Amino acid sequence: MFYQAKISRENQYWLAEFPDCPGCQTFAESESELFAMATEALHGWIEVSLEYGDVIFAPGIYTGSDFIRVRVPPDLAVRIQLRLACKQAGCTLLDLAERAGIPARDVAELENSGSNLTIGTLTKIATALGMALDVRLEAIA
């Protein structure tokens, strides 16, 4: 999963801002520092948004040389996708636990940083949402 950042120059600084993550932006002194700064800003924004129950949007697709793609680590990507799937299904985490037939504490782990859900639990959750779980390994671009 990737989010894209729009890159621009602001006086002597470089700015990266994420259109799908309201308020997520960062500055760097050089273009070479910008990617690392953008990655850190995005991951922090996602963690805080998940922790506080803020709205998270699916990543859009933008074109142009002024956009860069920033990868989301798998643990955050799963949490984002589950949050979006729950919203689409119109259910709460408690509803989801009931539908999936798993303890509510396991589903509550979805919101916690550092949670490590098993493939089996994720499969039950996906099935309860009427979805399929797709796990794949891909080359790092």
Average pLDDT, the chain: 89
The tokens for 122 are 């994720």
Question: Over the stretch 16-27, which tens digit does the pLDDT of each residue have?
Answer: 999 999 999 999
Instruction: Give the pLDDT of residue 108.
Output: 74
CB atoms within 10 A of CB 125: 25
Which domains are present in the chain?
2-71 (3.30.160.250), 74-128 (1.10.260.40)
pTM: 0.85
How many Å apart are CA 79 and CA 109, to the nearest integer?
9
User: Higher pLDDT residue, 10 or 138?
Assistant: 10
Instruction: Give the pLDDT of residue 103.
Output: 85
Instruction: Give the pLDDT of residue 56.
Output: 92
Q: At what angle do helices 119-128 and 93-100 cross, to 10 degrees?
A: 100
Question: Over the stretch 47-87, which tens digit does the pLDDT of each residue have?
Answer: 999 888 888 999 999 999 999 999 999 888 988 988 898 88
Instruction: Give the pLDDT of residue 118.
Output: 81
CA dihedral over 5, 77, 80, 54, signed as positive or negative: negative
